[in-house]
Structure 1
Amino acid sequence: MSSDAGQAKRPVSAALAGPYGHPYHPILVGVPIGAWIASLVFDVASRLVGSPTFLTRGAVWLIAVGVVGALVAAMAGLLDLLAIPTGTPAFRTGLVHMTLNLAVTVAFVANFFWRYASYGHAGAVGAGQLALTAVSLATLGVSGYLGGKLAFRYGVRVADEATQAEGFRHTAPHRRATSGRAHPAH
């Protein structure tokens, strides 16, 4: 394993980014992804029901939860990025991944304030707000693909192959000691 690849597997700060082989960033991204997907579901549902106010309000707060979650995930992700040697394909992929995630987060912040400005009004989510959410999620999907490339192709913050091999080592089958008596068949 090259020293660059080994460097990208080790955390800059285990306390903040997660210990070796257990990065926090992939765990934390579930919050914004889940909240923002749920907000899109609420958006679509608000256009299908007779009394959509609870759905439009719920979508606003799901977007807010997603933004807060994204900021926390971004801090851990930045630490993971700092572990990758500059000038490498992995680092360039990490920069694009980060840039797309920041753009998506900014779009959701704008979407939150756009919606919050009309928070007291009853009615379905506007077509523009719904479209902004859909485009933001599509962009997030591209970014997620790049995040997967970082982990699964380049092995960023993934345990090295020798450590991974421990999970595939065959052990001798456990044999029960017998007292010389035959055991009845089951």
Structure 2
Amino acid sequence: MTDQETRPDKRPLTPLAGPYGHPFHPIAVTIPIGAWIASFVFDIIGLIVADPTPYAVGSRVLIGIGLVGSVLAIGLGILDYMKIPDRTRSSSTATMHMGLNFVVCGAYLFQLFLRTSTDDIPITGVIFSAVSLLVLSLSGWLGGKLAYRYGVRVAHESKQAEGYVLRRARR
């Protein structure tokens, strides 16, 4: 039996989660991560320029984009999570990864609320943003551990080895 047949966490729950060996969750997370990092950069710029208004508005929009993108990423992540066997190291790692991401999303939702009544850069928002990005980094490290150490939704090594077979020169 192949790894694909014996390990349920390698097979997609549904085609919506991405084909075997190519999950959609890792690509979807780039939307909130990128938006929230850019939001933090806008915050920093807004703190040092004379008129922070355009940066405050941009940061607020980017936080909203990140929150919308996180809904997609969370949905796809849950599809992968549902295939991980219970009471395993990968399931506890995935639970921690998911919990941290929910905390980060809650923090950004709070930040969006903080910023709706002002066109300034609230220092509380900048602090929340920095802490949220640190927590998000820890969560990303756990997500990497799921893929690269435990092989969740990663193709079997025999399938991966196909990419390293030397092609014969054409004559």
The TM tier, using the shorter chain, reads over 0.9
Which of the numbers 153, 156, 168 marks the counterpart of 2:152?
A: 156
CA RMSD of aligned residues (A): 1.4
Q: Deviations over 1:14-49 (max 9, x none)?
A: 2x2111111010010000000000000000000111
1:2: Cα distance to partner? 6.1
Which of the numbers 104, 129, 132 marks the counterpart of 1:133?
A: 129
* Residue matched to 1:184: none
Whole-angstrom distance in 2 between the partners of 1:36 and 1:4: 38
**Which of structures 1 and 2 has the bigger CA Rg?**
1
1:3: Cα distance to partner? 7.6
Q: Deviations over 1:123-143 (max 9, x none)?
A: 3x1211100000000000000
1:85 aligns with 2:81: no
* Residue matched to 2:95: 95
SS, match of residue 129 in structure 1: helix
| Letter of the structure 2 residue corresponding to residue 168 of structure 1 | Y
* Residue matched to 2:71: 71
Q: Structure 1 pair 171/2, CA: closer, same or farther in 2 (3 Å)?
A: closer
Taking the TM superposition and a 5 Å limit, the aligned residue runs for 1:12-91 are 12-14=13-15, 16-91=16-91
Q: Structure 1 pair 134/58, CA: closer, same or farther in 2 (3 Å)?
A: same
Q: Structure 1 pair 106/134, CA: closer, same or farther in 2 (3 Å)?
A: same
C-alpha contact 2:3 2:156 (8 A) present in aligned 1: no
SS, match of residue 133 in structure 1: helix
Name stretches of at least 5 consecutive residues in structure 2 with no aligned partner.
none
- How many residue pairs are counted as aligned between the two chains? 170
| Letter of the structure 2 residue corresponding to residue 103 of structure 1 | V
Q: TM-score, normalised by structure 1?
A: 0.88
Whole-angstrom distance in 2 between the partners of 1:142 and 1:4: 31
Whole-angstrom distance in 1 between the partners of 2:158 and 2:134: 36
Q: Structure 1 pair 3/26, CA: closer, same or farther in 2 (3 Å)?
A: closer
Q: TM-score, normalised by structure 2?
A: 0.95
Q: Structure 1 pair 109/148, CA: closer, same or farther in 2 (3 Å)?
A: same
C-alpha contact 1:4 1:84 (8 A) present in aligned 2: no
Whole-angstrom distance in 2 between the partners of 1:3 and 1:80: 14
Q: Structure 1 pair 21/128, CA: closer, same or farther in 2 (3 Å)?
A: same
Identity of aligned residues (%): 45
1:171: Cα distance to partner? 2.3
Q: Structure 1 pair 168/5, CA: closer, same or farther in 2 (3 Å)?
A: same
| Letter of the structure 2 residue corresponding to residue 67 of structure 1 | L
SS, match of residue 84 in structure 1: coil
C-alpha contact 1:97 1:147 (8 A) present in aligned 2: yes
C-alpha contact 1:43 1:55 (8 A) present in aligned 2: yes
